């Protein structure tokens, strides 16, 4: 199966609520690689690589609001060149 990669930008109350950790847990459970990191504008960038169906599942989870203490207002995503990631990390 072909590997796809997306970059998603998650806006709302997504910093300081365990969002990156929960995203890492979700992505790892789906067998995805990539990373999640906070951006200076208060959003979180998520890069996910893996099977299309699994990437779509992570994107749907992000759009549904992520972890319970987060508030997701919007998610923008775009295809990106697949990176060479060995696992899913939290970037600082």
Cα 14 from Cα 84, distance rounded (Å)? 26
Catalytic position from the list 20, 37, 71, 74: 20
Q: Is 20 a catalytic residue?
A: yes
Catalytic residue among 37, 38, 71, 74: 38
**Nearest-angstrom CA–CA distance, 85 and 12:** 27
**Token duo for residue 50:** 């893996």
Whether 71 is catalytic: no
Residues forming beta bridges with residue 74, ordered by sequence position:
11
Whether the CB-CB separation of 64 and 12 falls below 8 Å is answered with no
Active-site residues: which are they? 20, 38
């Amino acid at each position: 199966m072909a590997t796809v990669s997306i970059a998603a930008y998650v806006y709302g109350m997504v910093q300081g609520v365990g969002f990156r950790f929960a995203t890492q847990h979700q992505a790892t459970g789906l067998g995805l690689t990539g990373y999640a990191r906070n951006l200076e504008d208060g959003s979180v960038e998520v890069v996910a690589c893996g099977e299309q169906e699994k990437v779509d599942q992570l994107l749907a989870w992000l759009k549904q609001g992520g972890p319970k203490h987060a508030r997701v207002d919007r998610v923008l995503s775009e295809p990106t060149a697949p990176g060479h990631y060995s696992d899913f990390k939290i970037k600082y």
